[in-house]
Structure 1
Amino acid sequence: MMMRIIYPILGMVMAFTSVLHAQSARITALPLQKELKLPASFETAVEKIQYDLLENENGESRIEVVDENCLHIQFIFSTDKAVKQDDWQVSVTPAFSPSFHWAPHLTPTDRHIIDQHVFRSPALIMADGRQVITLIPDLDIMKKGTPVRWYLDLDAEGNRLVLGMSNSRVDDHVLFVREPGAEYPAGEVEIGFYLMVNRDEPSLKNPFRRPLEFLWKRWGHGLYQDGNPVDADLERYVEHTYNWAFNSWAENVWQEFELNGNKVGAPVFIVNYTQSPNYPGEVNEREFRSVWNQAWFSSLRSAGGLYRYAKRTGNTDLMEKALLTKELALSFPQVEGFFYGLIGTEMHEVEIDGKKYNRSKGWDTHYWGNSNRNPYTWNAAESPFHILDMSWTALLMLRWYDELEKDERLLRYAEQYAGSLLGIQSESGFFPGWLDLHTLQPMAHLNESPETSMSATFLLKLYELTGKQEYKEVGLKAIDAIIRDVIPSGRWEDFETYWSCSRYGSDYLVGKKVARNDMYKQNNFSMFWTAEALLESYRLTGDRRYLEWGQRTLDEMLMTQASWQPPYMYVNVLGGFGVLNADGEWNDSRQSLFSELILQYGKLLDSDEYNERGWAALKASFVMMYSPLNPVTKAQWEKVYPFFGKEDYGFMMENYGHGGRTNAEGEGMGEFTIYDWGNGAAAEAYNRILDKFGKIK
């Protein structure tokens, strides 16, 4: 395919728009090179920019100097007939050898592309020790709709940043590969991008700050000010949540039973649409009936929010339910200080009218287990102890003790665990990933991972409450290991990276980069734990090194937050989060967990952008709820489940577009609610943030 070369421009002296015309690719290079003289400083950043013709159409290119660090480059093709062309692309070749690469999604082969489905805060970044170059698609063009899907690609081996147009299909869960058949209708085809070059020390230390600032200022801020992603009083969503869980869906959601003569209770792990009181068929439970205290699904976390709400509203019934969930958490058996992450029931199949349905045998058949999202077994009863899950639950116990009620049992339980945790820290500072159920010895995976950050935060909190210096020393040693071995290379590997729904690379990629992208498979969950641990480290020591690394980590996490509203997303997405660079979610429930941390950084750094991003994340936590408060989302739900009615107000899927595709007919809406990773988690975040920050301003 013929290529055309644009030589780059930079500098305030070039503050004009240049419209370039050419008759053919053959004659463009020399005239352009002579006509557009470059400041010498920019030649060290960009060697060349090349772009395809559209069939035989040269089109026109427009290069605008936005400021001394940013160009806006635009291409316009006008055709008098439909054009079939499988691929069109523009590539930017840096004039240096980058040592750092970042892209929002993996493209492990040249067949793979970063489809527009995952353009949340879309950017490609390359850097060395002297400069950072960033490519950001022109989202104003995308907002108008495009005849062919846009994509990005980062080819580290070929030293190219690419923006293109092509059909694609979902491959694996979830990568994207090119597909033939793209067709452009007669008329005008427009595509463009912003190219930023920064050489200042803050950009070299934190290559994510400038792109995030640019994206939010240009697209996110205005949307947020206009009332996106939701404009209703969040208190009303919380009312829907608790009415749904403890009233209209209570028969299937609320679980209450006895353990050793003590009454305990909690909302069930998961329910699906067949458990709606309006569903015309038989109930078919999606997974084994259970209650979890794990890094995702934490009944103790949700109960803390319910406690706050019940205290604020004087609701004694809901207060009792919150306390029953706390009792359940304290009932989890400890084995030499370590403890289980879930309680489940045995399941069986029942046959009704010739069809089989999954049902629980009841809480009399209960057993203790751990999360089955691990490298070893899908059987929760046989799953190993997970240090991350235990440290998170123990941290929540400390926060309950510190912020809600001085139940000494919570402190004792957490400190008993801490004594065992101290004994398994490695010389390098990390904590292991999993412990064998029987020997309590570390197993083979993630023994030097950023999951360690959660244990650091737990130990620092325990130091704060007890004053015992050893907890602080061990916690800081752990976070220092993360600074040294994880953050600079972006090695954000945790249990969800490989052993949840996105299994790509779990058999060969753990601990290794994807060579073509010079990136690890990454998950933003471990970015959150690390940014939180670094903030606590700074708060307790005053050492600005922790704050600087914390902000960089927070910003990398924010690169997975939606900074705009794509026209091909059929619910509001501003402020919502994706998950990892090999999956397709928008509006994932983790945003409710992330929101307070973003606000904490915003308050500390006096950042309006962080404040808006934090509030937007909290609001986005309620977007997927079936409710008249969300008319756009409600219409999507009813396309999928037309039997939904007012009894279902509060039903909320944990994310949107998980499979890598959405459409106006409801594709991407899902089928279940996880109270502790959905509506209950969002309500908890709202109640916690309300207590700490007050009403949204």
Structure 2
Amino acid sequence: MALFYWSVFAQEQISVPHNFSKALEHMQYDRMGDEKGKRSVRIIDRNTLHVKLTFSLDQLLRQDDWQLTLKPAFTPSFHWSPHLTPTDNHVIDQHVFRSPALIIADKDQVLALIPDLSVMQRGTPVRWYLDLSTETNTLTLGMSDSRVADHVLFERTEGAEYPAGKVEIGFYLLHYTDEGSIVNPFRKPLDFIWSNWGREAYRAGNPIRGDLEPYIEHTYDWAFKNWKESVWQEFEVEGRKVGAPAFIVNVTQSPNYPGEVNEREFRSVWNQAWFSSLRSASGLYRYARRTGNEELMKKARLTKELALSFPQLNGFFYGLIGTEMHEVEIDGRKYNRSKGWDTHYWGNSNRNPYTWNPRESPFHILDMSWTGLLMLRWYDELEKDIRLLDFAENYAKSLLKTQYPNGFFPAWLSLDKLEPMEHLNDSPETSLSVTFLLKLHELTGKQEYKEAALKAMEAVIREVIPTGRWEDFETYWSCSRYGSQDLVGKKVLRNNMHKQNNFSMFWTAEALYECYRTTSNRKYLRSGQRTLDELLMTQASWQPPYMFVNVLGGFGVLNADGEWNDSRESLFAELILQYGKLLNNREYIERGFAALKASFVMMYCPENPLTQVQWEKVYPFFGEKDYGFTMENYGHGGRTSSEGEGMGEFTIYDWGNGAAAEAYNRILDKFGEIEQ
């Protein structure tokens, strides 16, 4: 016989210890059926409280929702949570518990709620969730079933069942009043989570133990031998021989696939903020130089030639080269195929507010500044090809003319008039141009680049960082379109948070690091560390039992999406290590190497036994020739399962295995060794 409780539950109070009375007005929780439960309130130190509730059920209980609610004793001006909950029915499902915390603050204090991950690691009968409401000024830890809504938010649903036996739930409260915590409310929660769960998992070999060199070999064997027919593209542009791996390939292009090839997107090569063939080629160059592989060196240089082939219009230049596509019919079924590189055209990323057509997509300053920065780094660190410096400086001269009086750079420029368009003209995308201009200043000594960069940096410090307005092209115009019609520039009122993307946190933390390196002004370092720590709140700091591959060190993306182990971690890793070295911070060093290692976790190969099992459950035809195949992330749709849900079906070389290999080769060159 089961007990049913659908809507109204009796509630119990938890006494607030005296040393937390300034922070908390009250704590209360629902009974579980008729069970009051046993309460354990432990004062760990004057800043840390642990609360655990234990219920003993003598029969199956069906209870749709269970909540523990905290009411602060102050009115916060700052709120942070891992995910958006725009209505009372939305929840922050445990799927996005990467570094889970609810953080609130005013000018005098910071309060953070962190779920007890040790309880979660033992397994829970019902999914946990968090919620933060500014309307009621409450923090909530709960248990409920949920469903994925939009892409990707979570809504509470009916149907939660608790089997007979013991049910535990718990959390930690952190309360601080020191100035450092108020300035940077993320630092101590991050340290707490890593110290209690991340460090032990990292030292035990999560996400990867041992030498990463086999993963590099798998990557290049996959791209340039086993999958070469589909991946490597070599052609001519106006008589110049060029080459690069294709933007994207899928499982139908495997040499082991039993059916016909069906290309997922238009065949192309990109030099864009995500998918940068030039970035991947710089890693291939480093590897070829280290191993004396002339064939791979030739391929790296062909990709450099392709980047230099992109036509410039008054200094501005395109972000991709694509081919015409068509459908072919075989045995009554239609398949997407390329017409070949003789049909090539220039275009820009179609992840924008204006059009899905790459031919019609506007110039994106972010993409151009990133490619320009990579050209300067190639010139500085790999080979003194003056064409790279000239190309980048030609762009920079035009870039300076677009800077607004307030310091920001616009986001998109129209194809016809090269004039700013209407979206994101005061966004943290500006930060990447800061890093580009500072690098150009470093190489040329020209002051105008430094002056423009620092002016732009001040704008981001003033207008973006204090409110967490981490809006960029990916925030609204990639796969997660929630809010693209009505939220740009606005907060979700119930959470007092913007829709956020960690990509712009990275660009800003990197730009601030470079500003500090250029000027020695510690204000940039302080803002940089705060931004880095906000970025690290999106990094996995533990290993949940409901993730079926290793995830420690990997990154999510948005506070409205579901990814784990996203390929951006390979891009982020060096910056985390740089801050760790500069600040002599062991946590950052471990997090940086964990991020690098996590970028190889989704690779299909025998070195990743957990991942290999998941791949073969979804694609049983996979075999040795597929070693190196790497999906860009895990659990993107908001759910995972032991049967392979969350694994995906494609590889983007420049945002997957090729990008990860580039990060390894770059960090190995700059740091001398990779921590094992």
Q: Give the structure-1-normalised TM-score.
A: 0.95
- Identity score, percent: 74
1:254 aligns with 2:232: yes
CA contact (8 A) 2:226 2:255 kept: yes
CA contact (8 A) 1:592 1:621 kept: yes
Amino acid at match of 2:15: Y
2:617 is matched with 639
2:633 is matched with 655
Q: Distance in 2 between matches of 1:657 and 1:515?
A: 28
CA contact (8 A) 1:232 1:629 kept: no
Misfit runs of 4+, over 4 Å: none
CA contact (8 A) 2:226 2:626 kept: yes
Amino acid at match of 1:152: L
SS at match of 2:553: coil
CA contact (8 A) 1:305 1:683 kept: yes
2:440 is matched with 462
Alignment of 1:131-530 (within 5 A): 131-530=109-508
* Deviation of 1:399 (Å): 0.3
2:13 is matched with 5
* Deviation of 1:3 (Å): 1.4
CA RMSD of aligned residues (A): 0.5
Q: Distance in 2 between matches of 1:8 and 1:653?
A: 47
1:550 aligns with 2:528: yes
* Deviation of 1:44 (Å): 1.8
1:51 aligns with 2:26: no
Q: Distance in 2 between matches of 1:565 and 1:299?
A: 32
SS at match of 2:299: helix
Q: Deviations over 1:497-538 (max 9, x none)?
A: 000000000011000000000000000000000000000000
> Of residues 93, 111, 115 in structure 1, which corresponds to 2:71?
93
CA contact (8 A) 2:667 2:674 kept: no
* Deviation of 1:232 (Å): 3.2
Q: Deviations over 1:17-73 (max 9, x none)?
A: xxxxxxxxxxxxxxxxxxxxx24xx32211011110001110111000111101000
* Deviation of 1:7 (Å): 2.2
Moved more, 403-412 or 153-162: 153-162
CA contact (8 A) 1:395 1:461 kept: yes
SS at match of 1:488: helix
Q: Deviations over 1:465-504 (max 9, x none)?
A: 0000010000000011000000000000000000000000
Amino acid at match of 1:356: K
Q: Deviations over 1:424-482 (max 9, x none)?
A: 00011000010000010100100000000000000010000000001000000001100
CA contact (8 A) 1:342 1:369 kept: yes
Q: Deviations over 1:88-108 (max 9, x none)?
A: 010111100100000000000
1:689 is matched with 667
2:47 is matched with 69
* Deviation of 1:631 (Å): 0.5
1:567 aligns with 2:575: no
CA contact (8 A) 2:84 2:92 kept: yes
SS at match of 2:645: coil
1:79 is matched with 57
Amino acid at match of 2:262: N
* Deviation of 1:112 (Å): 0.2
Q: Distance in 2 between matches of 1:271 and 1:259?
A: 22
Q: Distance in 2 between matches of 1:110 and 1:370?
A: 40
Q: Distance in 2 between matches of 1:671 and 1:69?
A: 46
SS at match of 2:563: coil
Q: Distance in 2 between matches of 1:425 and 1:299?
A: 27
SS at match of 2:602: coil
Amino acid at match of 1:257: F
Q: Deviations over 1:620-654 (max 9, x none)?
A: 00000000000000000000000000000000000
1:598 aligns with 2:576: yes
Q: Distance in 2 between matches of 1:288 and 1:158?
A: 49
SS at match of 1:294: coil
SS at match of 2:222: helix
Q: Distance in 2 between matches of 1:633 and 1:153?
A: 31
SS at match of 2:497: coil
Q: Distance in 2 between matches of 1:150 and 1:656?
A: 20
SS at match of 2:468: coil
SS at match of 2:123: coil
1:122 is matched with 100
Q: Distance in 1 between matches of 2:120 and 2:578?
A: 33
Q: Deviations over 1:556-608 (max 9, x none)?
A: 00000000000000000000000010000000000000000000000000000
CA contact (8 A) 2:267 2:322 kept: yes
SS at match of 1:503: coil
Amino acid at match of 2:12: R
Amino acid at match of 2:447: Q
State the aligned residue count: 667
SS at match of 1:73: strand
2:595 is matched with 617
Q: Distance in 2 between matches of 1:323 and 1:123?
A: 46
> Of residues 575, 584, 587 in structure 1, which corresponds to 2:565?
587
Q: Distance in 1 between matches of 2:619 and 2:175?
A: 49
Q: Distance in 2 between matches of 1:260 and 1:79?
A: 75
* Deviation of 1:228 (Å): 1.0
Q: Distance in 2 between matches of 1:117 and 1:79?
A: 26
Q: Distance in 2 between matches of 1:277 and 1:592?
A: 27
CA contact (8 A) 1:492 1:521 kept: yes
* Unaligned stretches of 5+ residues in structure 1: 10-37
Q: Deviations over 1:186-239 (max 9, x none)?
A: 111100000110001110000000000000000000111111101131111000
Q: Distance in 1 between matches of 2:125 and 2:564?
A: 23
* Deviation of 1:8 (Å): 1.5
SS at match of 1:410: helix
* Deviation of 1:414 (Å): 0.3
SS at match of 1:263: strand
* Deviation of 1:2 (Å): 1.5
1:33 is matched with none
* Deviation of 1:158 (Å): 1.0
Q: Distance in 2 between matches of 1:139 and 1:8?
A: 22
